[in-house]
Structure 1
Amino acid sequence: MRQILILFCLCSLLSVSSWGQTADTGVHVVTIFDEMAKQEPGKGVVTVHQSDAIRALVGAHMYGTNVEQEGETAYLKIQGYRAQVFSGNNQRKSKDEAFRKEKEIKELFPDVPTYVTYNAPFWKLRVGDFRSHEEAYQMMRRLMAAFPDYAKEMYIVKEEVKIPLN
């Protein structure tokens, strides 16, 4: 009986898709330990004995320090995709052009995040936080349809993106 319980706990830990609390963000997400400790009428009680170090490791491999808090929203930072809309190295015009294009995109797609960055000597405008190449490609096609003049410059880039947790 005890071996079955241990096997159940191990399988649950391996198959769970929830994650733990990160020390530096203060974000608390329900873990398998919290779910197992819930007391519900008519159901048994599960007691898990392990060190705090093991409890802290739950979810650390996949999520670890990749959780970031901005205001009320927690984000998971992962490798994902964005649509690059503009890149220019003309020091006099590229910055203004990147911000102008960002403003135009924000008017049509207010819920899609945009990122203007400068990495010498290039100003870049990238759009979206997508988990898959296909999601980024769909957004890029929508952008091409809305802004046909920008279409020649657009392509998908892989970079760290922010996926909302709540």
Structure 2
Amino acid sequence: MRRILNLVCFYCLLSVTSWGQGADTTVHVVTIFDKMAKQEAGKGVVTVHQSDAIRALVGAHKYGTNVEQEGEATYLKIQGYRAQVFSGNNQRKSKDEAFRKEKEIKELFPDVPTYVTYNAPFWKLRVGDFRSHEEAYQMMRMLMTAFPAYAKEMYIVKEEVKIPLN
């Protein structure tokens, strides 16, 4: 058992050091060491002794520098999908319309993240952080049902999204 554990540690260290040194080590990510040390009913406990540097490298290899911390939450930033609900370039109306639609969506779907952005000359409202096109499409269908007036301008966009890790 100890030999297998040493091989796992060696492999992790070897693959991480050859992968790169620029990893963000400020965020604690659950690693294989944490999972092995967790006691389950009727099973033994594995104690792993290694330096904090090795622990940081293992988590960094899995998530790279795409880990972001906002308050208590930790997110993984990946390429994913969102439902675009609104896009307008009328400088007088589009900003207000984007925020008005965001407020209406937040009232019905308070747990779904919304993003109002301005990329000259367009104001855009996008909804959700989804790993797959199918998840984004399902959300878009719910939005179309809830807001039929917005349905004709809704579509799915590929974008960097934030997936919660904890």
Same fold (TM > 0.5): yes
Cα distance between partner residues in 1 of 2:50 and 2:34: 13
Task: Report if the CA contact (8 A) 2:38-2:45 is conserved.
Answer: no
Does the Cα contact within 8 Å between 1:83 and 1:136 map onto a contact in 2? yes
Computed over aligned residues only, the root mean square deviation of the Cα atoms, in angstroms, reads 3.3
Post-superposition CA distance 1:9-50 (Å, at most 9, x none): 678999xxxxxx9424xx323322344456899847565668
User: 5 Å matches for 1:63-74?
Assistant: 63-74=63-74
Separation in 1 of the partners of 2:39 and 2:128? Answer: 41
One-letter amino acid of the counterpart of residue 163, structure 2: I
- Give runs of aligned pairs for residues 98-113 of structure 1, distance below 5 A: 98-113=98-113
Query: % of aligned pairs identical?
Result: 82
Matched ranges for 1:87-106 at <5 A: 87-106=87-106
Q: Where is the helix percentage greater, Structure 1 or Structure 2?
A: 2
Deviations 1:59-86 (A, max 9, x none): 3244122222222211111111100000
The alignment's TM-score, normalised by the length of structure 1, stands at: 0.77
The equivalent of 2:76 in structure 1 is 76
SS in 2 for 1:60: helix
Amino acid at match of 1:57: L
1:147 aligns with 2:147: yes
Secondary structure, counterpart of 1:83 in structure 2: strand
| Map of 1:23 onto structure 2 | 25
TM-score scaled by structure 2? 0.77
The residue type paired with residue 132 of structure 1 is S
Please give the alpha-carbon distance, in whole angstroms, between the structure 1 residues aligned to 2:95 and 2:77. 26
Aligned residues: 157
Cα distance 1:72–1:6, how it changes in 2: closer, same or farther (>3 A)?
closer
SS of residue in 1 equivalent to 2:112: coil
- CA separation of 1:87 and 1:33: change in aligned 2, threshold 3 A: same
Q: Distance in 1 between matches of 2:71 and 2:51?
A: 33
What SS does the aligned partner of 1:77 have? strand
Gaps of 5+ in 1: 15-20
Assess, with a 3 A threshold, how the Cα gap between structure 1 residues 109 and 120 changes in structure 2: closer, same or farther.
Answer: same
Q: Deviations over 1:78-98 (max 9, x none)?
A: 111100000111111111110
